[in-house]
Amino acid sequence: MPDSTITPTRLVGVEDLGDGQVTVVETQHGTLAVGLSGGEPFAVSNRCRHLFASLGQGRVAEDGCLECPWHAARYDVRTGAMTRGPQGAFKPLAGLVKSTTGARALKTFPVVLRDGAIWLEG
């Protein structure tokens, strides 16, 4: 039997996501990166594990991962795990960063897609 005391929280309308398919939302759980990946909603903690860029200002890449706007590290939005280390000047260190700072996955939060919006459950 569902707990009627738990009210879902509306996070963002799908039409407000823009081309990157992700945005920043302030919630009672802190600042989250909220978006759509492959048509499925997600919400993860907003700070990149590398140098703390705002992931909600990044984009959902063609592989469905959330890409950091600063050095393009990528995260699996289902698990929060870093799937690719930082690129550009940091690329030689990408594996090291992924295995150290990236080993601490982003926090993930339960969300649903309903009435054209993403809702935080619980």
CB of 68 to ligand FES, least distance (A): 3
Q: Toward ligand FES, which CB reaches closer, 65 or 68?
A: 68
Which residues is 45 bridged to in the sheet? 32
Where on the chain is the footprint of ligand FES (CB under 6 A)? Answer: 48, 50-51, 53, 68, 70-71, 73, 86
State the burial class of residue 28 (Cβ atoms within 10 Å of its Cβ: 0-12, 13-18, 19+). exposed
Distance CA 70, CA 57 (A): 9
Supply the minimum distance, in Å, between the C-beta of residue 41 and ligand FES: 22
Q: How far apart are CA 101 and CA 51, in angstroms?
A: 9
Pick 22 or 120: Cβ nearer ligand FES: 22
Of the two residues 83 and 120, which places its CB atom closer to ligand FES in the complex?
Answer: 83
